[in-house]
Amino acid sequence: MFAFILRRALQAVLVMLVIGLIGFSIQSNIGDPIRPLVGERVTPEERAEMAEKLGLNDPFLVQYGRFIKNAAQGDLGISFIYKKPCTEVILKHAPATLELVFGAALIIVFVSLPLGIYTALKPRTILSKCIMGFSTLGVSIPVFLTGIMLIYIFAVTLGWLPSYGRGETVDLFGNGYWNSGMLTIDGIKHLILPCLSLASIMLPLYIRLIRSEMMEVLETEYIKYSWAKGLSPMRIWLVHAFKNTLLPVITVFGLQIGIMFAFTILTETVFQWQGMGFMFLEAVQRADIALLNAYLVVVATVFVMVNTLVDIFYGLINPTVRITGTK
């Protein structure tokens, strides 16, 4: 087990180094970070001087080496546009994204479970057919469009919900890092539309997944046996069948959470949600190289850590993973 964990950790470090390298190699193509920060009158010589001061003129490997050395000490540089340490900027933007993903996850869980189960149990009813049809539609509309449509329906036309932003937030720990929108009514109202549009991309998938898993389970021997035994339908569906449906669903859910983070970039742009995705796009557009690299490293760290943990847990739960791993 120890060897397994150690190997995974080493792999993780390697992945991190490669990601850092990729981040660094794209930066030369993203444009000049100085230009957006200065007026049109600033001469090329003065711009060159600024670039020199920021160390942008050093050879690629020197810059990369310096970055890795500082990163190992937890220093990811200073963002040009925010004029603050990148780690601080990212940490301050992270809660907004986490709350968005959490809200979307809640919607997915509470909507896909009943709908998935219902469509599995009554596949031939009109309602089931409607749900399935709708889910096909949902999965094929880009999240960007869903967002804009939701805004025009619920904010502009009906006027029920706010159109953009996070609304009123509460500083959870009093240090300015975690500004939560989940504690005020205004904040929650602002959460609804972005969470819905983010959920829209995954929701159909889960309804279909739950439905097909459930239908499969319903065909198994032990369910037939339960019917024969004369158990109540509710007990068979919700206790015996549903429990076994959940295992693969949870696995997929864990993996897809990462993809949800990727979709936050689009959702956050449409709703001007001040999260990490929004910040990332801003960094790309304004060529804030320091922030861009820091973001890639932080996100990669999270991904690698989560994946490593999942693998370790798998190893604990299911020994075959561990055994094949040692071959």
Residues engaged in binding another protein (CB under 8 A): 29-33, 35-44, 46, 50, 54, 78, 80-84, 148, 151-152, 155-156, 159, 162-165, 269-272, 274, 279, 282, 285-287
Residue 185 or 234: which CB sits closer to another protein? Answer: 185
Residue 168 vs 311, nearer CB to another protein: 168
Of the two residues 206 and 278, which places its CB atom closer to another protein in the complex?
Answer: 278
CA–CA distance, 307 with 285 (Å, rounded to integer):
30
Nearer to another protein, 119 or 200 (CB): 200
130 closest CA partner among 193, 207, 192, 237: 207
Q: Are 123 and 161 in contact (CB under 8 A)?
A: no
The two structure tokens encoding residue 324: 């094949």
Q: Least distance in Å: CB of 35 to another protein?
A: 5
User: Residue 20 and residue 34: Cα distance in Å, rounded?
Assistant: 22
Calpha distance 252→260 (Å, rounded): 12
User: Could you tell me the smallest distance in angstroms from the CB atom of residue 67 to another protein?
Assistant: 16
Q: How many CB atoms lie within 10 A of CB 313?
A: 12
Q: CA 39, CA 304: separation in Å to the nearest integer?
A: 41
User: Cβ closer to another protein: 75 or 311?
Assistant: 75
Sign of the torsion angle spanned by Cα atoms 170, 160, 200, 239: positive
Number of other residues whose CB lies within 10 A of the CB of residue 73: 7
**Min dist. Cβ of residue 93 to another protein (A):** 9
**Contact (Cβ atoms closer than 8 angstroms) between residue 264 and residue 100:** yes
C-beta of 282: minimal distance to another protein in Å? 7
With b meaning 16 or more CB within 10 Å and e meaning fewer, what string describes 100-130? bbebbbebbeeebbebbbbbbbeeeeeebee
Minimum CB distance to another protein, residue 300 (Å):
23
Instruction: State the Cα–Cα distance between residues 241 and 220, nearest whole angstrom.
Output: 9
* Structure tokens given for 262: 């990727």
From the list 96, 115, 110, the residue with the least C-alpha distance to 194 is 96
Residue 75 CB, nearest approach to another protein (Å): 14
CB of 54 to another protein, least distance (A): 7
Closer of 249 and 279 to another protein (Cβ): 279
Quote the least distance from Cβ 31 to another protein, whole Å: 3
Question: Cα separation of 61 and 69, whole Å?
Answer: 12
> Of the two residues 90 and 131, which places its CB atom closer to another protein in the complex?
90
Residue 159 or 230 having the CB closest to another protein: 159
